[in-house]
Structure 1
Amino acid sequence: MTALLVGLGGAVGATLRFLVGHRLDRDVPVGTFVVNVVGSFLLGLFTAMSLDEQLVALLGTGFCGGLTTYSAFAVQTHALGRRGALYAALTVLVALGACAVGFWVGQA
Structure 2
Amino acid sequence: MDLHVPAQRNEIGWPVLAAIAVGGALGSLARYGLAQLLPAEPGRVPWATFTVNVVGCALIGVLMVVITEVLTPHRLLRPLLGVGVLGGLTTFSTFAVEVHGLLRPGTVLVGVAYLFGSLLCGFAATAFSMAVTRLVCARRSS
Q: Does TM-score exceed 0.5, indicating one fold?
A: yes
For normalisation by structure 1, the TM-score amounts to: 0.94
2:63 counterpart of 1:36: no
Give 1 or 2 for the bigger CA radius of gyration: 2
Indicate the residue corresponding to 1:92 in structure 2. Answer: 119
Gaps of 5+ in 2: 1-14, 136-142
Is the contact made by 1:48 and 1:107 (CA closer than 8 Å) also made in structure 2? yes
Task: Classify the secondary structure of the residue corresponding to 1:26.
Answer: coil
Structure 1 stretches (4+) deviating beyond 4 angstroms? Answer: none
- Structure 1 vs Structure 2: percent identity of aligned residues? 37
Query: For residues 3-37 of structure 1, what are the alpha-carbon distances to aligned partners after superposition, in whole Å with 9 as ceiling and x for unaligned?
Result: 11111111000000011112213222000000000
State how far apart, in whole Å, the 1-side matches of 2:117 and 2:17 are.
33
Indicate the residue corresponding to 1:46 in structure 2. Answer: 63
Q: In structure 1, what residue type is equivalent to 2:60?
A: L
Cα RMSD over matched residues? Answer: 1.1
Is the contact made by 1:25 and 1:32 (CA closer than 8 Å) also made in structure 2? no
Gaps of 5+ in 1: none
Query: For residues 24-83 of structure 1, what are the alpha-carbon distances to aligned partners after superposition, in whole Å with 9 as ceiling and x for unaligned?
Result: 132220000000001000000000002523111111111000000000000011111212
Alignment: residue pair count: 108
